[in-house]
């Protein structure tokens, strides 16, 4: 594959970072003062944001269950943030011990913390790269020996693509993942939407406007278009039907309408 080079993601503790803010939403401790201040303000604007992040995490676990049941043993989790309790590798390797997981994030501090957490696990690694560099990511995953790109891979992008503006032509770089992955591979992603609560979601997105990662709100049709060559499995949904253990989402049903889950497969 031909690699592209992107400007390294800036390291700063004075500005909130999406991965560390997300860690705070989930109740984690790997975040800094700017992240916490921003997150607390966001929670005042949209009190459900913490529940939405918890729902997304539970949904991600459920997708791993489904894909393992379907025979997939390789996972490429892009925009992974800090792998906290119950993340992709823990679920996959609990179900099938030799499952392989490659995480990807573009924020150096997040990557550094993740490497410390993953030390000693020879079936899991993290790559410092940007989702918009598919060749770099896939080359690194293959070179590590963890992913065999001639076999099906589950490509996961949870709460990531709403940070990618239209100017970056997401369908263009996403289609390159489709082209590189083997038949039987799956692509699953979640994405914020204002289809059901436009005013509240608009205020929330505005908070991110002056951060390094502004939020882009898309419609259902725009979100489905990001499949970029993968064949849809059931169309965009709130994801509730994919949840492995319905008891886990009791009390979280109210946040499902804030985003869509899309799943596709390469035939």
- Count of CB atoms situated within 10 Å of the CB of 72: 20
pLDDT on residue 19: 86
Note the pTM of the prediction, 2 decimals: 0.92
Helix/strand/coil (H/E/C) assignment for every residue in 82-134: CCCCCCHHHHHHHHCCCCEEEEEECCHHHHHHHHHHHCCCCCEEEEECCCCCH
- Give SS3 for 74: strand
* Token couple for 106: 């573009």
Helix/strand/coil (H/E/C) assignment for every residue in 125-156: EEEECCCCCHHHHHHHHHHCCCCCCCCCCEEE
The tens-digit pLDDT sequence of the chain (267 residues) is 434 444 444 555 678 888 889 999 998 888 899 999 999 999 999 999 999 999 999 999 999 999 999 999 999 999 998 877 679 999 999 999 999 999 999 988 889 989 999 999 999 999 999 999 999 999 999 999 999 999 999 999 999 999 999 999 999 999 999 999 999 999 999 999 999 999 989 999 999 998 888 999 999 999 999 999 999 999 999 999 999 888 888 899 999 999 999 999 999
| Cα-Cα-Cα-Cα dihedral sign, residues 132, 136, 140, 146 | positive
Please say whether the beta carbons of 66 and 89 come within 8 A. Answer: no
pLDDT on residue 43: 96
pLDDT on residue 248: 86
pLDDT on residue 152: 99
Q: Find tokens 């992040």 and name the residue.
A: 53
C-alpha atoms less than 13 angstroms from C-alpha of 34 in its C-beta half-sphere: 11
């Amino acid at each position: 594959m031909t690699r592209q080079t992107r400007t390294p993601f800036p390291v700063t503790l004075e500005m909130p970072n999406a991965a560390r803010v997300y860690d705070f939403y989930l109740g984690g401790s790997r975040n800094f003062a700017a992240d916490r201040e921003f997150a607390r303000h966001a929670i005042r604007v949209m009190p459900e944001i913490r529940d939405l992040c918890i729902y997304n995490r539970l949904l991600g676990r459920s997708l791993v269950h489904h894909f393992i049941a379907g025979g997939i043993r390789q996972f490429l989790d892009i925009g992974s943030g800090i792998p906290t309790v119950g993340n992709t590798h823990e679920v996959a390797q609990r179900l099938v011990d030799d499952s392989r997981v490659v995480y990807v994030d573009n924020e150096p501090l997040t990557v550094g913390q993740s490497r410390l957490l993953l030390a000693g696990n020879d079936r899991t690694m993290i790559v410092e790269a940007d989702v918009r560099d598919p060749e770099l990511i896939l080359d690194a995953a293959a070179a590590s020996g963890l992913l065999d790109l001639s076999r099906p891979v589950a490509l996961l992008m949870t709460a990531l693509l709403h940070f990618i503006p239209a100017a970056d032509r997401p369908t263009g770089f996403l289609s390159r993942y489709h082209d590189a992955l083997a038949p039987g591979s799956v692509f699953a992603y979640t994405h914020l939407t204002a289809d059901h609560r436009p005013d509240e979601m608009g205020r929330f997105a505005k908070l991110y406007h002056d951060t390094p990662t502004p939020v882009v709100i898309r419609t259902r049709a725009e979100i489905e278009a990001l499949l970029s060559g993968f064949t849809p499995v059931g169309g965009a949904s709130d994801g509730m039907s994919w949840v492995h253990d319905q008891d886990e989402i009791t009390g979280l049903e109210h946040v499902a309408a804030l985003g869509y889950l899309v799943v596709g497969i390469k035939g």
